[in-house]
Amino acid sequence: MDAIGQFFAMGGYAAYVWPAFAIVLVVMALMWFTGIHGWRKSEQTLAALRSNRRQREGDAE
């Protein structure tokens, strides 16, 4: 138990070490998910537009 507490205390620098690591991970995760989300959304929009178009071309014939 003591070892774990010591680890989290970071030699008294817990208030600096943990926020630094946390913000890096949070920002990297945010960039990752916004990137993937934006890509997925663009795929869906593109697919919808294409099927619309195909439909209209089918109607025209």
Residues that bind other proteins (CB under 8 A): 7, 10-13, 16-17, 19-21, 23-24, 27-28, 31-32, 35-36, 38-39, 42-43, 45-46, 49-50, 53
Separation between Cα atoms, residue 8 and residue 15, nearest integer Å = 10
Min. distance of Cβ 12 from other proteins in angstroms? Answer: 7
Min. distance of Cβ 9 from other proteins in angstroms? Answer: 8
SS3 content of the chain, % helix, strand, coil (to 5): 95, 0, 5
Min. distance of Cβ 57 from other proteins in angstroms? Answer: 11
Separation between Cα atoms, residue 13 and residue 16, nearest integer Å = 6
